[in-house]
């Protein structure tokens, strides 16, 4: 399972690099050569969508997303574990519903034959890659939930706790 987790995190990092590269090359071409990459805007916004959903996958397992832990910080170890399990189950439900709805968007984009502006490329593959990021998020949150319940030693402490020490 750790290999799957690491692969998903690397894919999220690669998408960050691709978005940054697209922006950098577009700016350099526009500023110094008075030209642009065809569909640069479309690629940028579609890759940003991919990045967001793969980022959700990467942060969901580690618990590195923004949290409000007022109650958690005051609780004892048993209650902290219960709060973590409950919060992760809620997150799993929300992201699962989001994944189901996003598949509908992928399917409608495919059926409607939505194309990019300049090159007239189909956009549904970008939506599909974003959807796979959401599927990965569901898988990682499910793994986190399983480990919180049966193997809590495999889950790292809250990042806030590490920062306060």
> The whole model's pTM is what?
0.80
CB atoms within 10 A of CB 154: 13
Confidence of residue 98 (pLDDT cuts 50, 70, 90): very high
- Residue 66: predicted pLDDT: 59
% of the chain surpassing 70 pLDDT: 88
Average pLDDT over residues 27-55: 89
CA atoms within 13 A on the CB side of 135: 9
Please check whether residue 148 is in contact with residue 87, taking contact to mean a CB–CB distance below 8 angstroms: no
Percent of the chain with pLDDT over 90: 38
């Amino acid at each position: 399972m750790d290999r799957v987790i690491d692969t998903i995190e690397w894919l999220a990092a690669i998408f960050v690099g691709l978005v940054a590269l697209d922006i950098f090359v577009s700016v350099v071409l526009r500023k110094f050569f008075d030209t642009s990459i065809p569909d640069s805007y479309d690629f940028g916004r579609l890759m940003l969508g991919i990045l967001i959903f793969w980022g959700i996958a990467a942060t969901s397992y580690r618990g590195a997303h923004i949290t409000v832990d007022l109650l958690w910080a005051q609780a004892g170890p048993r209650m902290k574990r219960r709060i973590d399990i409950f919060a992760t189950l809620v997150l799993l439900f929300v992201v699962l519903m989001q994944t189901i709805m996003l598949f509908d968007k992928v399917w409608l984009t495919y059926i409607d034959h939505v194309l990019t502006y300049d090159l007239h490329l189909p956009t549904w593959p970008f939506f599909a890659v974003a959807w796979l990021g959401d599927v990965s998020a569901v898988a990682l949150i499910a793994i986190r939930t399983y480990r919180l319940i049966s193997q809590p030693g495999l889950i790292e402490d809250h990042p806030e706790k590490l920062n306060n020490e």
